[in-house]
Every structure is written in C-alpha cells, then in structure tokens.
Structure 1
Amino acid sequence: MRKLFKLAAGALVLSLAVTGCGSPAPDNSTSGKTDSNAAAGKPYKLKLVYRAAPQKDTQAVQEAVNKYLEPKINATVEIQQIDLGQWNDKTNLMIASREPVDVIFTAQAIGYATNVGKGAFLALNDDNLTVNGKKIGNLLQQYGKGITDSLDPLFLKGSQIDGKNFGVPTNKELASQGGYVFRKDLAEKLGILDQVKNIKSNDDLEALLKIVKEKMPDITPLYLANGITAPRTAEDWDYMGDRKVPGVIRKTGKETKVLSQYDTPEYVKEVTLARKLMLAGVINKDAATTTVDVLSALKSGKVFMIPALLKPGKADELAIAYNMQGMLEQVAVTKKTLSTSETTGAILAISSTSGDPVKAMQFINLLHTDKTLNNLINFGSEGVHYTKVSDNVIKSTDKTSDYNTGTAWELGNQFLNYVWSTEDPNKWDKFKQFNTDVTQSPALGFTFDVSPVSTEVAAIANLSKQYDTSIETGSVDPEKILPEYKEKLKAAGLDKLIAEKQKQLDAYLAKQK
C-alpha cells in the first residue's frame, strides 16, 4: 500500500485520465456461462441487504435473478431493500444483534470504519481467514479475480484498513464534488434558471430560495434531513475515516494538522447561514427531526432543491428513478477532490455472520463481471421494467416504476450498467473525464483506527446525534448552542481523539516518504 501511494502521489491524475474508474469488464464477459468450480458445494440462500426504497416488483425480480444465478454458483439470493431514512437504525440493530446476513452495503459516510472496528465485516484479503473454526483463506484472491482484474487498484488500496479489505468498492467515479440537485422546470418557470446554474457557493442561495418561497409557497425551497445539510455539501474536509468521528484536514491544501471541524471558520460560517435560511423560512422546519430523507422529499414533487454529492449525470439518474425526466439539474459548489472516503463511498461487505462467505464472495464477483446479472438486479427484467433501444441503451415502460431503485452505484460495476435513453449516451466516458484534474487530499490512503479511543468515540457519537443535525440544519441558534456543544465534546474526550488521529496520520505520512 505504501509503495502504491508513493508512486500514485505524482501520477494519479495521469492514471485516472487513462483508466478512469478502472477498465470496464469485457461486455457480457461471463453472462450465460457457468463456472463449475463456483457452482460446487451445497446450495445456499444468500441474504443481500442494501440501501434502496423497497420496490413493488422486488419479489418478481428476485425470482428472475435466482433463476439466472443458481446454475452459476449453486446459490439463490434474498433481496432486502431498506429506505435511506430507516437505514441507520435497522442496520445498526442487525449488526448489534448479530443477525445472519451475507452481503451488505456500507460506506464511509454510514459507519464503514466504525463497523469494521466492531467486527461486523470479514477481511476479504486475509490469507488466514477462519470462520467458525474452518480456514477459508483469501476470499478476494480465490474468488474475486473478476474484481481485481477490472477495478482500479486505487479503490482496493484506498479502502483498506490496516492493510485489509473489509469490502469491495463499487467500480464507479473516484472524484467527489459537493453541490445541489434542483428542479429545473420550476427554476425556468420562475425565470431564475441561469442564476441557479451559476451558484458558486452557499452564499448565493438565500436570494434565490426567497424567490421560490415567495412565488411558490407550497414548495419547500431547500430540504434538509438525516445529516444531509448545506454545510456538509460545501465542505472540503477529509475525515480520514468515518464522517461521524470528528477530526479533519482540508482536502484542498497541503496542511496535515488535524482540526476539530467545529472550530473552523468554514463550519461557523455555514451553520450561521443555515440558521439564517431557517429563520427566513426557506428550509423545512422539521429538518432536524424528520424521517423523510432528502431523496424521498424530492420525489414528492414538493421540493425545489436538495444537497447532494455530485457526479456526471447525477440529476439524470434521480430523474429516471423518480419519473421526473427533464425536471432536474445539478450545480456544483466545491472542487473535485479525491480522498480515501471516495474509494469507500459505496462498498459491498461480507458480514461476519454469513453462513457461506465463499458464495457471498462469488456473488459480489459476478456483480462486477456479469453484465446480465448486474443489469437484472439493478434495472429489473427486460421487456417488463425496460426495453432495449440498442445493445447498451434502454428506455422505460409503464412498469419501470415498479422496479426502479436508482441505486446502481451501490452494486458492483457501473461500467456494466445500461444507459437510459434520457441520459447522455457518453455517460461512462464523462465519468472518466470527471476523474481527471482532481485535487488530492494529503491524507489519501489513510483511514483512522478508532480502537485506541473507542470510549471517546462512543461518547462523542451520542453527542453528535443530539447536536449535529439541529445545528447544521439551522434549527437552533449556533451562537448559543455551538459553544455548549463544544464544551461537552471537550468533556467527552475530543482533544484525546484529535491527538490520536494526528498521531496515526503523522505515522502514516512518515512511511510514505
């Protein structure tokens, strides 16, 4: 890992320009073929848990998936989709109760590193991996050749924790960019489309959102919820691990001093603006308490704008998922950046409660290599949920809404995905271009190990639940509440946590020289 990042530091942009998000697997590379070795062993039912709104036709698609999958690896799959608004509570309970699960979606933003620390996921590249007294060995090496052949090494190396891969990242964009998705049709109607498209920072929001409020009182100008807030959209911070654990450096600079984000002028500025917007009535009043996530709110048709992490075609993807074609557009407010969190933005992990980790690994490998399976589980059945326009372009049917999760970025290799007829046909080429000229975090490749300060992390996590969302949505006055919060954070051990993160980062950087 150290050697890779030392070399990559000077040539990453060139590498990305050539390889993008990794070389796409050969078209339909394993579709229709059965691996006799993979199909060996006892039949097994895999449980797949990922973040998506439950679909009307999930059962029908599951049956189609199993008809295709079973001859390949002698396994079927039970699909469990969990809404964004319920994800944290339900999956935290699953992990705490040791519920049997095989493949589960995770990401740095929703506790990947923290759950690794809890022993929730198996180390896939551990030569000595043993489960229930049986030595299994290196799952990634033995059963993940399609993954290692097609996935940019930066994904696997960047997502490691202490040299171990506890999941397989989705083959997708590497860069990250904060911004907003907004209703283009409403902006056109109000005559403010050009102004919205030219937003440069959160400072430009207030005047535009006030127009929406005045002219369309039934529309929420800016919807915030579940930690998806304007300050987090505008930041350029590298958390170097779980975003729930304080301690950041700026991705856009060279400075590697770890800071408490709550002390930075950027944070104070953004939460002050959020409060101003809340008092102006342009943010939903229940932002701190609602269980309706930002995507569901956008889908309702009653929202003008939501914060989002952007990539090429993000607005188009959401428009297709929510039957809002032609109604959405996106605008960026930050630079394109690359940090460890981008390599861990979407991961399929194998739960340590899995009854057959080998089958689980084979299944993930197929999602990265088998075009038929990948598109079936992401888009449903051809002739029912979509029809083909050409080999790689599809269009919707009257049944598309019955199975349209909009979560292809969670499952496998996006370069195998079909492109909707309403999307840019050059979508995947633009993904590669998006990953060029990227600003790299000085801490690229580093992930903070929380175990030395686990007590402090747990105490601070409880405080974060109490304060973060209310402050960052403008639901409370930051001038009064932020000092109180910071005092409690200090009492809970924030200084010790920051010092430990600094110690680990310094040690990591020293090894890169």
Structure 2
Amino acid sequence: MKLWKRTLGLATMGLFATAVLGACGNGGTKESADSSDGETTLLMYQVGDKPENYDQLMEIANKRIKEKIGVTLDLQYIGWGDWDKKMPTIINSGENYDIAFASNYSTNAQKGAFADLTDLAPKYASEYMEQLPEMYTTGNQVDGKLYAIPVYGNAWAQQVLTFNKQYLDEYNIDISKVGGSYDSATEVLKAFHEKNPNVAAFAIGQSFRASGNFDYPLGKDYPFAVKIDDSGSPKIINQYEDPEFQDTLRTLRSWYEAGYIPTDAATSTTAYPLDQNTWFVREETQGPMDYGDTILSNAAGQPLVSKPLNEQLKTTSQAQMANFVVSNTSKNKEKAVEFLNLLNTDVELLNGLVYGIEGEAWEKTGDTTIKLLDGYEPNTHMAAWNTGNNMILYTQDSITEEMIKERDESIENATSSPILGFSFNQDNVKTEISSIMNVMSRYISNVNTGSVDPDTTLPKMIEDLKGAGWDTVQKEMQEQLDTFIAENQ
C-alpha cells in the first residue's frame, strides 16, 4: 500500500556528520506542558549524549522554531546505556510526552503507544513526506498504518570490508581482487599477518555477526532470514543451515586458526577505534550519505578504503533506522507533527543543530557547501543520522557534484528487499522466541567469530534450536509473511 507518491528528484545537498554513540548519559522524565503564559512547549526524548553546548544550540533553535510554528522544544537526552531501560518505562507508565526517537517501533506501535500518523502526516508534514522515497513509508507501515516520521538518511545499506590505508601503503598490499565474499580477502589478510602479527588482521569481537545475502525479519541475532536472490515467494530459513553461509563460517574459522582473528574474539569488547592503528581490516556498514569512504575516513581522521561484501539493499531495518514517533498521550499531536516537518525541511534550523554554531564550527563556502572550522568537535553538535533530513544538510566543499549525483542514482537503483515493510507479530510465539534466544546466546559469538569448528558445532546448534521451537516460530512467521506478500502484490 502506498501512502504518498514519491517525488524524489536529484538533490544538491548531502551529509557530513556521523553519530558518536555514547555509552552513558542522563535524561529525566517530565510532563509535556503549556507554560504559564500560554506558550506550548513540546517535550521530546532523544537517544544519545547531550552536546556540551546544548543550551546555546537550543536557544538558537527555539528562536527559529517559535518564529516558524509558534512553539518551543524541550529536548531531553537519554544516554545509550540507559535508553533500553528508561524509554520503555516512560512508555509503559503512560507519561505525557510529545515526541521521541522510536523505541521498539513496531512492537510499541502495535500496542497503541504511538499516535497513528496515517492522516496527520500528510496534513501537517506534507512538505517533508513528499520528499521521502517510497521505501520509508512502505518500511514503516504497521498493520497498514503509519506511526513514525522517519529521518531521510541512508536509504540503503551495504556491508563492506574496510582497510586501514596506512598499512596497505606501508606493506604494498594489493586489494584489487577483494570483494563479494570474505574468502576473497584471505590472501590479503595472510600478507598483512606475516608482516605485522601483533596487529589484529580482522578486528572483530563478541558482537560481530557475519554477513550474507539475506534480510533478517528480526535482525541478525535471530536464526531467521530470507535470501535476497531466491526466485519465487520469499521463504523464511535458518541462515545457519544455508550452504553458502556455512562456507562463510568455515572461512572465518580458517582465519581464526591462522591467527587473523583475535583469539579472544568471542568474549572481547575491544573497540578498535577507527582513528587508531590497532586494526588492519574491519567490517562496516555504508550507505549513500557516506559518499563512498568519505565520511568514514573523516571520522577516522585517516584514509580508509572499502570493498563491498554484498549489494546495496533497501530493507525495513533501514527504513526504521531513525524514526520519530508522537506519543498517544500527547496533547499536542498536530503541533508535534508540524514540528517534525519543520525540523526536516528548514535548512537553517537543521544545519545549525547538526553542524553546530555557524562561525564557530563551520562557515559557508557556497550556497550549499561549507568548510569545517576548528570549533567543529563531536560534542558540540547533534548527530546527522538521528536528527533530521540528511538531504538538506550542507556538504563539505570536498564533496563533488558527481558524488552527489552518484548518491541520488544509488538511492533510486538500490535493490529492495523482498520483505520490505514486513513486521513480524511475535504475540503467538513469545515463549519459543525466548527459548531460541537462550540457545543463540550459547552459540552465536563463538560461531560467528570462527572460535569453534562450524562443521561440528552447527549441527548441535541447529538441533538445539529445533528443540527450542524454531519450527513453530518459522511456521508462524512464514504464514504472516505469505499474508503480507499477498496483500501487497
């Protein structure tokens, strides 16, 4: 079902900014309220760390917001370390707030926690909604209705192997044949490891999940997937039973045995920062707003070079990457949607939040291009990916018109997942899913990091998953998916 006609043209503005994901932060709870002088203040919850110059940013922003739509914004940050505890508490308590970065979007939408925006969005946010590619509205439907205003950012995602160029140059390593599979990088890893065995050749830890040509209805942590290139109606499979994916795990096992993967990978939380030379290769996710390796290299402060593992793919998870929802408890639903429209269409407002204070953090070099100044620091602005419409952000003047053209063409031409827009309702199989995740917790890190032999471990893992109710969940998921496909053909 299409909620809006797509009107995307070639844009002339893009993105330079990356999220700095904090592990802590403070965010209280308070009532959304009208001030004593009758002024409406919207209470909004955002995930992440509050910028150090928050007061200055918000003073400038609120002046603009009040001029445009007659309200002000009370933006409360909740740190990443607290988000999964605090936001569910806020939602479940029925607190009166207006806007929030979506927490468990589909599940809470189904529970009625979020306002139905199917009619409100085209009425109060039509300017922005008409700019969105169809995948965002398709990917955010829950039971045929829309409950979110998504951030237009990386409309597709692609897994890549990213190389530290300093080491490529130092050891004269050729990566021209790398791409399309992990195995294609084996000889390159071998060459590096022989030269520098004390640096992690493939820098991964316990959270690493090997990539394949799949879409995952519940995410990579779950043993449910749909193959992208299969013909016919999409089928729910266990990716760990797929022969190609098993070959990938065998490759990772061979890397582990050869010493290319850290010996403690299955339990390690080592970060391997981008800006340090503690790694040779890492797996990254890139999208159109990254302009190839431009944004990644800027974040690292050193040149990086990437090779694709799979294709550019539009998925439900990408569509829901950064959603803003209006609480069903809000007394200001219309104004909340109007504000989200302003945030995503007002160039002055959004760029001031994402880049920081003009003249201190950045200065314009053209109508839509900027130069970053010494005052541009990670803690003096908001993140682009979860603040607003990346297509109206200024670009660094190093980003060329050709790069912008390639970005827009890639958004148009990227492959859409066969299950784009599908949301699985877990109500009938909650017990089985809980048991399945208990099984996965015992195996998943060991299997994906190559720390165990897949040929002996996978049969045990698959048997345990069956015992936990995998077939029951697969049947329920397949039935829901078949219904979804039939209703959307």
TM-score range for the pair, normalised by the shorter chain length: 0.7 to 0.9
Name which of 112, 116, 119 aligns with 1:123: 116
Name which of 79, 88, 105 aligns with 1:96: 88
Match of 2:250 in 1: 272
- Measure, in 2, the Cα distance between the counterparts of 1:252 and 1:405: 41
Query: Is the contact made by 2:10 and 2:408 (CA closer than 8 Å) also made in structure 1?
Result: no
Query: Is the contact made by 2:11 and 2:408 (CA closer than 8 Å) also made in structure 1?
Result: no
**C-alpha distance after superposition, 1:296-329 (max 9, x if no partner):** x2234422222122234142112223433xx122
Q: Does 2:231 match 1:238?
A: no
1:203-214 equivalences under 5 Å are: 203-214=183-194
Amino acid at match of 2:116: A
Query: Is the contact made by 2:206 and 2:449 (CA closer than 8 Å) also made in structure 1?
Result: no
- Measure, in 2, the Cα distance between the counterparts of 1:405 and 1:472: 36
Query: Is the contact made by 1:117 and 1:451 (CA closer than 8 Å) also made in structure 2?
Result: no
Match of 2:33 in 1: none
- Measure, in 2, the Cα distance between the counterparts of 1:383 and 1:370: 19
**C-alpha distance after superposition, 1:461-512 (max 9, x if no partner):** 3433443233212234434443333233222221111101111122222334
- Measure, in 1, the Cα distance between the counterparts of 2:113 and 2:442: 25
Q: Does 2:480 match 1:504?
A: yes
Amino acid at match of 1:452: N
Q: Does 2:466 match 1:487?
A: no
Query: Is the contact made by 1:350 and 1:360 (CA closer than 8 Å) also made in structure 2?
Result: yes
Instruction: Flag structure 1 segments of 5+ consecutive residues without an equivalent.
Output: 9-14, 28-39, 126-137
- Measure, in 1, the Cα distance between the counterparts of 2:100 and 2:327: 7
- Measure, in 2, the Cα distance between the counterparts of 1:62 and 1:366: 15
- The alpha carbon displacement at 1:156 in A equals 0.8
Amino acid at match of 1:209: L
Judge which range, 331-340 or 384-393, deviates more.
331-340
SS at match of 2:422: coil
- The alpha carbon displacement at 1:289 in A equals 3.5
Judge which range, 402-411 or 491-500, deviates more.
402-411
- Measure, in 2, the Cα distance between the counterparts of 1:438 and 1:46: 37
Q: Does 2:72 match 1:75?
A: yes
Match of 2:137 in 1: 156
Change (3 A) 1:433 1:319: same
Change (3 A) 1:352 1:340: same
**C-alpha distance after superposition, 1:214-253 (max 9, x if no partner):** 3334532222246343x22xx1112245444442221122
SS at match of 1:178: strand
Name which of 115, 135, 160 aligns with 1:179: 160
- The alpha carbon displacement at 1:258 in A equals 1.7
Match of 1:32 in 2: none
Match of 2:19 in 1: none
Instruction: Flag structure 2 segments of 5+ consecutive residues without an equivalent.
Output: 15-36
Q: Does 2:229 match 1:252?
A: yes
Name which of 383, 395, 398 aligns with 2:371: 395
1:7-406 equivalences under 5 Å are: 42-51=39-48, 55-73=51-69, 74-78=71-75, 80=77, 82=79, 86=81, 90-98=82-90, 102-106=98-102, 112-117=105-110, 121-125=114-118, 138-192=119-173, 194-195=174-175, 198-225=178-205, 227-229=207-209, 231-232=210-211, 235-255=212-232, 256-291=234-269, 293=271, 297-312=273-288, 313-324=291-302, 327-351=303-327, 356-403=332-379
Match of 2:395 in 1: 419
- Measure, in 2, the Cα distance between the counterparts of 1:415 and 1:140: 19
Amino acid at match of 2:129: T
Match of 1:441 in 2: 417
SS at match of 1:188: helix
Query: Is the contact made by 1:176 and 1:336 (CA closer than 8 Å) also made in structure 2?
Result: yes
More helix by share: 1
Query: Is the contact made by 1:173 and 1:432 (CA closer than 8 Å) also made in structure 2?
Result: no
Judge which range, 212-221 or 198-207, deviates more.
212-221
Amino acid at match of 2:87: I
- Measure, in 2, the Cα distance between the counterparts of 1:264 and 1:26: 41
Q: What TM-score, normalized by structure 2, do the two folds share?
A: 0.82
Match of 1:461 in 2: 437
Match of 2:26 in 1: none
- Measure, in 1, the Cα distance between the counterparts of 2:256 and 2:381: 31
Change (3 A) 1:241 1:189: same
Match of 1:408 in 2: 384
Q: Does 2:409 match 1:429?
A: no
- Measure, in 2, the Cα distance between the counterparts of 1:303 and 1:57: 33
Amino acid at match of 2:485: L
- Measure, in 2, the Cα distance between the counterparts of 1:181 and 1:289: 22
Amino acid at match of 1:212: F
Query: Is the contact made by 1:338 and 1:441 (CA closer than 8 Å) also made in structure 2?
Result: yes
Change (3 A) 1:476 1:64: farther
Query: Is the contact made by 2:13 and 2:393 (CA closer than 8 Å) also made in structure 1?
Result: no
Match of 1:132 in 2: none
Query: Is the contact made by 2:200 and 2:262 (CA closer than 8 Å) also made in structure 1?
Result: yes
RMSD: 3.4
Change (3 A) 1:242 1:350: farther
Query: Is the contact made by 1:75 and 1:359 (CA closer than 8 Å) also made in structure 2?
Result: no
- Measure, in 2, the Cα distance between the counterparts of 1:96 and 1:46: 16
Change (3 A) 1:78 1:444: closer
SS at match of 2:374: coil
Change (3 A) 1:349 1:481: farther
- The alpha carbon displacement at 1:148 in A equals 1.8
SS at match of 1:151: coil
Match of 1:134 in 2: none
Query: Is the contact made by 1:321 and 1:404 (CA closer than 8 Å) also made in structure 2?
Result: no
- The alpha carbon displacement at 1:292 in A equals 5.0
Query: Is the contact made by 2:356 and 2:381 (CA closer than 8 Å) also made in structure 1?
Result: no
- Measure, in 1, the Cα distance between the counterparts of 2:353 and 2:270: 25
- Measure, in 1, the Cα distance between the counterparts of 2:176 and 2:377: 29
- The alpha carbon displacement at 1:406 in A equals 8.6
Query: Is the contact made by 2:161 and 2:306 (CA closer than 8 Å) also made in structure 1?
Result: yes
SS at match of 1:507: helix
Change (3 A) 1:93 1:484: farther
Q: What TM-score, normalized by structure 1, do the two folds share?
A: 0.78
- Measure, in 1, the Cα distance between the counterparts of 2:481 and 2:115: 25
- Measure, in 2, the Cα distance between the counterparts of 1:259 and 1:94: 34
**C-alpha distance after superposition, 1:131-162 (max 9, x if no partner):** xxxxxxx4323432222222123321232111
- Measure, in 2, the Cα distance between the counterparts of 1:426 and 1:112: 36
Amino acid at match of 2:153: K
